[in-house]
Chain A
């Protein structure tokens, strides 16, 4: 085994062991809840790293896909009585299908135009969910069935941890395959990639669909974990938070972006007593990172320790 591969395996096994041990050490339901949300944001930051950091598609649409998946599962459970696992699968598939459509519609968009398109899409979804309140209960919130017949956070913790670990592993495998190389080539120069034989239409759409599926998985989990969905979770500010987490961690490194999501969620929770000022601190940190550490704070550490990029 190569030295870098050994280090990577050690890191992953180490993180896995630490993650598995957490509920045995932390007994506070509050902090377990924070852990679950940190993993959730870690997953979202990783999906954004996948789409923007590797495939070069700067999208604000991820949060809308989370919401679509959550509402699909929640609404199916509420109105059709569909068994919960089927509703969850439908939620993930809905996110994937919408991702496919968005990917197709955005084929010719780059940079600011793609961002504006996806902002408009995300806001449209939020407004529809608010406006159709007779069906969605709008800002009053849609009650969603829980996954486990217990108030304990532990089963949710392990499920989210499992989702995060498996999702990350799968995204990692995709990025290590030829698809990953094509994503990067498209990110660097899509015309040159196309001239070198890369089917940029296919791979841009694949990038959107893969991202959407993992956002969807996160979305259905969040819906049944929080047991209450409001359209405002899908606001651009939430997406801004996810993007900020990925950038501070290191957007071109899946693991660093994920760790950025986890650490910053803990940071924001730890600074809760500062109220809105914690978001000012977050914004300040983001500005400093963008100005002085374009690769984020954790990606260079990862590269130094492991010896190569993800």
Chain B
């Protein structure tokens, strides 16, 4: 298993007067599976964009495997092992599924073309989209595009994978499929940071949950502890109803963790 270390320290991203991310710090050690949640506009996607290099930070530092990566463009960060998917899928629409999958592996240049093609075939089989290999990505359903994005990031073979809303707008069956894939890939040693509004999935998947609100990190820890955190409940539900909602947000005790991932 790779020795993963991503360290975010005092990360800031301002857009004029809007403090989208304001001094967030956290670390990813080893192949953690982290849930990143927060109300709309709390800065989750902006933070991913900043860590991944699509946005330049206003302040703070990002270190990966002990080295600063603030100054690196996204493709360099990808080569060093930071992969991501997007909130709204951004597949290469007028390229086939196979071509979509080949791009990242060819770009990082770890293997010869023949081996990459073989690996793409395996990834398609893993994601059960092998029958769509020669189909243009634009012709895929929303859920299939989510799978393709997941496949693309698997082909990149990064150490840390950010998944931005992997379950959003996806059919429940496909959602369950994505859930299973994440667990399998995680078991193979990859670290995940998953942004989702699907609380059941996040709390059943994650070993640790980070909560953001208005650009700040307001909680970070064990899912059960975070679920009961007053600041989190307030951010999501409002102070007045916080107490009453604590009980409602608890999953039925008769259900297992995986079963609660209802999607």
Q: Does B bind A?
A: yes
A151 at interface (Cβ–Cβ under 8 A)?
A: no
A191 near B74: Cβ-Cβ < 8 Å: yes
**Count, A-B residue pairs, CB within 8 A:** 74
Contacts of A192 in B (CB 8 A): 86, 90-92
Contacts of B54 in A (CB 8 A): 191, 194-195
Contacts of A193 in B (CB 8 A): 92, 103, 107
B152 near A196: Cβ-Cβ < 8 Å: yes
- Please give me the residue from chain B that is nearest to A200 by CB atom: B75
Contacts of B74 in A (CB 8 A): 191, 194-195
- Please give me the residue from chain B that is nearest to A178 by CB atom: B106
Closest approach, in angstroms, between the C-beta of A206 and any C-beta of chain B? 14
A201 to B75, CA, bound (A): 10
B107 near A182: Cβ-Cβ < 8 Å: yes
B121 at interface (Cβ–Cβ under 8 A)?
A: no
CB-CB under 8 A for A198 and B90, given A178-B113, A188-B95: no
A199 at interface (Cβ–Cβ under 8 A)?
A: yes
A182 near B103: Cβ-Cβ < 8 Å: yes
CB-CB under 8 A for A196 and B94, given A181-B106, A182-B103: no
A195 near B84: Cβ-Cβ < 8 Å: yes
A184 at interface (Cβ–Cβ under 8 A)?
A: yes
Contacts of B10 in A (CB 8 A): none
A185, A189, A195, most chain B CB atoms within 10 A: A195
B93 at interface (Cβ–Cβ under 8 A)?
A: yes
A181 to B109, CA, bound (A): 13
A252 to B136, CA, bound (A): 14
A198 near B86: Cβ-Cβ < 8 Å: no
Closest approach, in angstroms, between the C-beta of A285 and any C-beta of chain B? 24
B75 near A194: Cβ-Cβ < 8 Å: yes
A130 to B125, CA, bound (A): 62
A196 near B103: Cβ-Cβ < 8 Å: yes
B73 near A194: Cβ-Cβ < 8 Å: yes
A198 near B103: Cβ-Cβ < 8 Å: yes
A197 at interface (Cβ–Cβ under 8 A)?
A: yes
Contacts of A252 in B (CB 8 A): 94
Describe B's contact surface by its main secondary structure.
helix
A182 to B103, CA, bound (A): 7
Partner of A195, one of B52, B93, B102, B106: B52
A188 to B79, CA, bound (A): 20
B73 near A184: Cβ-Cβ < 8 Å: no
B95 near A197: Cβ-Cβ < 8 Å: no
B99 at interface (Cβ–Cβ under 8 A)?
A: yes
Closest approach, in angstroms, between the C-beta of B254 and any C-beta of chain A? 42
Closest approach, in angstroms, between the C-beta of A1 and any C-beta of chain B? 18
B78, B91, B102, most chain A CB atoms within 10 A: B78
A181 to B74, CA, bound (A): 18
CB-CB under 8 A for A197 and B107, given A178-B113, A191-B54, A191-B74: yes
Contacts of B94 in A (CB 8 A): 184, 187-188, 252
Contacts of B75 in A (CB 8 A): 194-200
A195 near B78: Cβ-Cβ < 8 Å: yes
Contacts of B79 in A (CB 8 A): 197
B93 near A199: Cβ-Cβ < 8 Å: no
A189 near B107: Cβ-Cβ < 8 Å: no
CB-CB under 8 A for A191 and B104, given A184-B99, A197-B79: no
- Please give me the residue from chain A that is nearest to B155 by CB atom: A196
B107 near A196: Cβ-Cβ < 8 Å: yes
A253 to B128, CA, bound (A): 31
Besides A188-B95, A199-B107, 12 other A-B contacts (C-beta < 8 A):
A184-B94, A189-B92, A191-B90, A193-B92, A193-B107, A194-B73, A194-B75, A195-B78, A196-B107, A197-B104, A198-B107, A200-B75
Q: Which of A's residues lie within 8 Å of B, judged by CB?
A: 178, 181-182, 184-185, 187-189, 191-201, 252
Q: Which of B's residues lie within 8 Å of A, judged by CB?
A: 52-54, 73-75, 78-79, 83-84, 86, 90-95, 99, 102-104, 106-108, 113, 152-153, 156
Ordered by A's residue number, 17 sampled pairs between the chains whose C-beta atoms are within 8 Å are: A184-B94, A188-B95, A189-B93, A191-B90, A192-B91, A192-B92, A193-B92, A193-B107, A195-B52, A195-B78, A196-B104, A197-B78, A197-B104, A199-B75, A199-B107, A201-B73, A252-B94
